[in-house]
Structure 1
Amino acid sequence: MSTADRQSTEASHWQTYRRLIGFAKPYRGLLLLALVGALVEAVASGAFTSLMKPITNVTFIEKNAEVAIWLPLAILGLFLVRGAAGYTTDMSMGRAARSIARDLRVKVLGKYLRLPGSRFDNEPVPSMLVRLGSDSDQVSQAAVDAAKVVIQQSLQVIVLVGVMLWHSWQVTLTIVVLAPPLAWIMDKVAKRYRRISHRIQESSAALLQSADQTLSSHQEVKIYGAQAMELERYRGLADNNLRLAMKVESTKGISSATVQFMGAVGLAALLLIAGREAQAGRLSAGDFIVLMVSMIGIIPAMKQLTNVQNMMQRGVASAERLFTVLDAPDEVDAGQRHLQRANGLIEFRHVSARYPGQTRPALEDISFTARPGTVTAIVGRSGSGKSSLIKLIPRFYEKEAGEILLDGYPISDYTLADLRRQIALVGQQVVLFDGSIAANVAYGEMGAAEAAAIDDAIRGANALEFVEQLPEGLQASVGTKGNRLSGGQRQRLAIARAMLKDAPILILDEATAALDNESERLVQNALEKLMPDRTTLVIAHRLSTIEHADQVLVLDQGRLVEQGSPAELLARGGLYAHLHQMQFREGEIG
């Protein structure tokens, strides 16, 4: 790395740390209290060290009995003050550090919820969890915990050096020549930590992602006998993480050992120079003990100051990861038009869309109209662009060209909140949150819904029959991701949620594709109650479920290749007829 690059990197790290310190501003009072406590603690330590002179000279050399009585009491008083001051520092700094970690977690999660859909395609959820978890903790250590060590130990060193200067400035100044090489070592340690810390955080995210992938797919792993392969992959990542961690431990150990050795050199120099001063009559036995105890107190303080580099540099590396999230642009929400309830007229005019980094468009020149009270089915082979088309309506992704209109106005004219309030979504993979059935049905903006409205929605979705059988009824927990319910039960709760929302636009993304015949019948019946008087768009896997659709859009490789009613498309003998025939044959074979 060139000198200019190193200087640029150093400046970047300093800017990151300065920005990080900004998160501590709301806790200035706590930090000031901690500083006062640390100062009192250091002064008490210095006072105790100074007592070594009268303890040595008066108690042991002069054998003064009166002084021998009050000196132990003075020591007890000093340590009581020191303990109270240390407790104040620890609690104040700890509260500030944990509060900063809490603030960052909330801020980063809120930022993720404002990011466009493409972010979730490019960054796996386990990496996001690392940022919300260990990265936030590391940042709090950099912002406050490291500062606590620096303040406490620096004040300790300053006070003890002051005590040494008071008792013999000649000896102290001679020992101070060891400071420049010690500063050089700390600088080298800091640079090494910076090189390794960011790589450790990335390695931890890769470890978590690999474990999440393996454990989430444990059935496939077992059925294909891939346990050894997955374990080997995880072991490789764990070995890399261990290798990086050992580099940190090696750096920490070498720097600590070097600092201790230099401390020993300082003690040896102290003994040599103090002996000469004593022979010249300029240093008493008590002064020597004070200097010795001060040096012994400075060595561990300097050792902690070198170790704080690990904490601080890892925190800065984590902060840089968090700031890449916080600095990412939010999804565009420049619309000014407000909308209470839409009529539901949707128009696509020559719409094209492309995922970031992809050369081939996901959708190309799509035009159609979906009117209120009608059902528009979207069919096509896997990868034809069905889901991409649906995601453009609530603006999870942005179009590249063309126009998408709602009630005659471009959807970008509306605020995102108002636009999405007009849409209810029921997908193949139902999303339920750990909580009660009632809370999941009344999720989000409907959280204050009345019990009667929730009951009506559950009854309309054909979910009442299984809800009534649960001991806790509506208050029964659905479990993590709804794992206490069957697929059909989860699907009906999603329909109940859409019924309660009562949005004018309904999007069904292969809502019955993964269900057995009985569950499909119940879900299909619930959907028929939900669809009237709405603009309904259905991604259909089973073509038998869209026989009564008003129009069918047939997509192939991102283009709209056919459009019309099911009967018209069958008579035309094109791609729709081919897909229909293939499913009919599969049904016969089944």
Structure 2
Amino acid sequence: MTESSPSGSPSSMKIYFRLLGYVRPYAGIFLISIVGFVIFASTQPMLGYILKYFVDGLSNPEAVLFPSVPYLRDLQLLQAVPLLIVLIAAWQGLGSYLGNYFLAKVSLGLVHDLRMELFNNLLVLPNRYFDQNNSGHLISRITFNVTMVTGAATDAIKVVIREGMSVVFLFASLLFMNWRLTLVMIAILPMIAFMVGTASKKFRKQSKKIQAAMGDVTHVASETIQGYRVVRSFGGEAYEKQRFLNASESNTNRQLRMTRTGAIYTPMLQLVIYTAMAVLMFLVLYLRGDASAGDMIAYITLAGFLPKPIRQLSEVSSTIQKGVAGAESIFEQLDVEPEMDGGTLERSSLTGRLEVRNLSFTYPGTDRLVLDNISFTVESGQVVALVGRSGSGKSTLASLIPRFYHHTDGQILLDGIEVEHYRLLNLRRHIAQVTQHVTLFSDTVANNIAYGDLAGAPRAAIEKAAEDAYAKDFIEQLPKGLDTLVGENGVLLSGGQRQRLAIARALLKNAPLLILDEATSALDTESERHIQAALDQAMKGRTTLVIAHRLSTIEKADLILVMDKGQIVERGTHAQLLAQNGYYARLNSMGLDEPTTSGIA
């Protein structure tokens, strides 16, 4: 998909704070983790002070550490220093556990919530969003991009809090010990901040490119796996290898560029920090004054602790920018308006009378008129057939009835009510649809027939639907009958068998309006003959809209609409249209068997 341009991108901070908004439900646990990291950070200056007492104890091991504290006034450095080291280690361990464990709970919960929101959002996005975005990028967003957000939510927050608090405690201790020397160190901070800011912009820009490239990798792999039969039938192995190689190399190169930026930037920052340390050591030796050797060793040690947390804080910028780029892509999808549902009407049952008045339609973002002033009426229980070349608008008309797309010019009335006035879920509950491209799920035969709202249907009803769809014979030959797993998209079944399961699903729904979009196209002649008999039975008492190329599926229709270039050019029964000796008669003489396309028709 097309990434938003940097100029139009929200700021990193705005995105990051929106991301952190997902932490709100975990505020209590998050607070415990912060307390843990504060405990961990507080042990850094403690270790420096222990070193001071150790050095001072070398010259006077019998000195008392806490002369004014009851019960501890007899505790000599000889016993106190080892004891304090153990206590500090235990205190640090407690802080580390609280911080790491509870932050992991927060971050994993955050990622789970984001992933669920992203997936649930996919279920309500309008059809045009899927037309404009390939599946590889959508899948990559749920997997790879969310993983990037995990890094920003876990590692980054951990480093920012733990190392940030370490820097605060260390600076506070250094200011307390010798504020003049510490001010020299602070003078170097603006340079560090400038370097971090410059690198952050590069990291975010490069990370967005990496995520786009990762989407390409997923997309190519997904297409090849789904279309492996076509790839092998037409010798596409070499082409797909090259296509995947190009996508993978692009991703690798972009990852490498990001690593190179970090590899150059980190040593430069380290050089600046250690130069500051060199100046500091010179000043310590020069301005030592009356301080003891223990004081100076402690000060140098505490100052020596600073480069590590500062370096980690600077490196976390790349992790945060990866997360920000991933979050930006995620929020970009979440901010898309969901499928429009302005309807308020709900009906428990419909007769299925369909009327189309002066309907015209153009796909969003295009200028071509796909449907041009279409009008017709189908009484309850009647069968209307749509005939015409591929691209004449038949499937588009079928897509407008269940509101996969929204019309603005003209009306589509179901039981005398405009379809836009029905609540979306209620409208679709009254429509059963079987298309040329069958979708089956990696589940049992029974669960594929009784899918969605039909889940939990009685076993007898499922068996009856399978029998009416002429699927019972082949189902009984499967290893576990109705409980046999069909594989991904029904890969273990033939095209005709998959189509019969789709028809069984529609029959089980028992909706008053049935739409058959070339539903028998994948069937052999004998299967079609049986299915046609089943469909003839299924059509009784319900309105049926049939889109077909084969003559046998439409010759019994109550009304045949012949479409060309988005208009109805002829209408009537099979006999009437043949008598006119016009467009339909010419199609009929060719057997109505023109090849179909997978595009929008």
Shorter-chain TM band: over 0.9
Residue in 2 that maps onto 1:344: 352
CA distance in 2, matches of 1:380, 1:98: 54
Contact 2:550 2:592 in 1 (8 A): no
Q: CA deviation at 1:403?
A: 0.6
Q: 1:375–1:549: 8 Å Cα contact kept in structure 2?
A: yes
Quick one: structure 1 residues 32 and 584, their matched pair in 2 at CA, closer, same or farther if it must change by over 3 Å?
Answer: closer
Determine whether 1:522 maps to 2:520: no
The alignment status of 1:261 with 2:259, answered yes or no, reads: no
Match in the other structure for 1:206: 216
2:125 corresponding residue in structure 1: 115
CA deviation digits over 1:109-146, x for unaligned, max 9? 22221121111111111111112112222234334542
Distance 1:516 1:538 in 2: 18
Q: Shift of the alpha carbon at 1:585?
A: 9.7
Q: After the TM superposition, which of the residue ranges 203-212 and 377-386 deviates more from structure 2?
A: 203-212
SS for the counterpart of 1:583 is coil
The 3-state SS of whatever aligns with 2:563 is strand
Aligned residue number for residue 55 of structure 2: 56
> SS at the partner of 2:546?
strand
Q: Distance in 2 between matches of 1:109 and 1:10?
A: 23
Which blocks of at least 5 consecutive residues in structure 1 are unaligned?
none
Cα 1:10–1:384 shift into 2, 3 Å: closer
Counterpart check, 1:425 vs 2:433 = yes
Cα displacement string for residues 205-239 of structure 1 (whole angstroms, at most 9, x for unaligned residues): 12222232333333333444443333333333333
Q: Is the 8 A contact 2:374 2:567 kept in 1?
A: yes
SS state at 1:506 partner: strand
Cα distance change of structure 1 residues 173 and 469 upon mapping to structure 2, 3 Å threshold? same
Alignment partners' CA distance in 1, 2:294 and 2:537 = 94
Does structure 1 residue 368 correspond to structure 2 residue 376? yes
The answer for the alignment partner of 2:67 in structure 1 is none
Structure 2 residue aligned with 1:239, among 213, 236, 249? 249
Post-superposition shift, 1:341? 1.0
Residue 393 of structure 2 corresponds to which residue in structure 1?
385
Q: Deviations over 1:185-222 (max 9, x none)?
A: 11111121222222222222122222323333333334
CA deviation vs aligned residue, 1:85-127 (integer Å, no higher than 9, x gap)? 1122112111211211111121122222112111111111111
Residues 481-490 or 65-74, more deviating: 65-74
**After superposition, what is the alpha-carbon deviation per residue over 1:225-281, rounded to whole angstroms, capped at 9, x for unaligned?**
443333333333333322322221122112211222123213212321111233x32
**1:565, CA displacement in angstroms?**
0.8
Structure number having the greater helix percentage: 1
- Aligned pairs for 1:2-401 within 5 A: 12-58=11-57, 60-64=58-62, 66-278=76-288, 280-281=289-290, 283-401=291-409
- Matched residue SS, 1:42: helix
SS state at 1:23 partner: helix
Distance 2:30 2:562 in 1: 64
CA distance in 1, matches of 2:59, 2:10: 57
Secondary structure at the aligned position of 1:73 is classed as helix
Asked if the contact 1:552–1:565 (Cα under 8 Å) also holds between the matched residues in 2, the reply is yes
The 1:10/1:482 distance shift into structure 2, 3 A limit, reads: closer
Q: 1:179 to 1:494 in 2, by over 3 A?
A: same
1:488–1:523 contact (8 Å) kept in structure 2: no
| In 1, Cα distance between equivalents of 2:593 and 2:548 | 18
Contact 1:509 1:538 in 2 (8 A): yes
**Which one-letter code corresponds to 1:572 in the other structure?**
Q
Contact 1:50 1:163 in 2 (8 A): no
Report % sequence identity: 39
Letter paired with 2:356: F
**Alpha-carbon separation, structure 1, partners of 2:230 and 2:469:** 33
- The answer as to 2:460 corresponding to 1:452 is yes
Mean CA deviation greater in 138-147 or 45-54: 138-147
Q: Give the CA RMSD over aligned residues.
A: 2.2
CA separation in 2, counterparts of 1:286 and 1:538? 92
**Deviation sequence 1:57-99 (CA, Å, 0-9, x none):** 11x2324495233422321221122122112211211121121
8 Å CA contact 1:256, 1:303 repeated in 2? yes
Residues of 2 paired with 1:276 and 1:148: CA distance? 38
Q: Which amino acid aligns with 1:165?
A: L
Q: Does 1:547 align with 2:555?
A: yes
**With structure 1 as the length reference, what TM-score do the two structures score?**
0.93
Q: Distance in 1 between matches of 2:260 and 2:302?
A: 29
CA distance in 2 between partners of 1:101 and 1:468 (Å): 44
Rounded to whole Å, the distance in 2 between the matches of 1:585 and 1:143 is 57
Deviations 1:473-522 (A, max 9, x none): 32221221122222222222222222221110111111111222233233
Is the 1:255–1:306 contact (alpha carbons within 8 Å) kept by the matching residues of 2?
Answer: no
Q: Is there any run of 5+ residues in structure 2 with no aligned partner, and where? A: 64-75, 596-601
Partners of 1:586 and 1:489 in 2: CA distance:
23
Conservation of the 8 A alpha-carbon contact between 1:94 and 1:145 = no
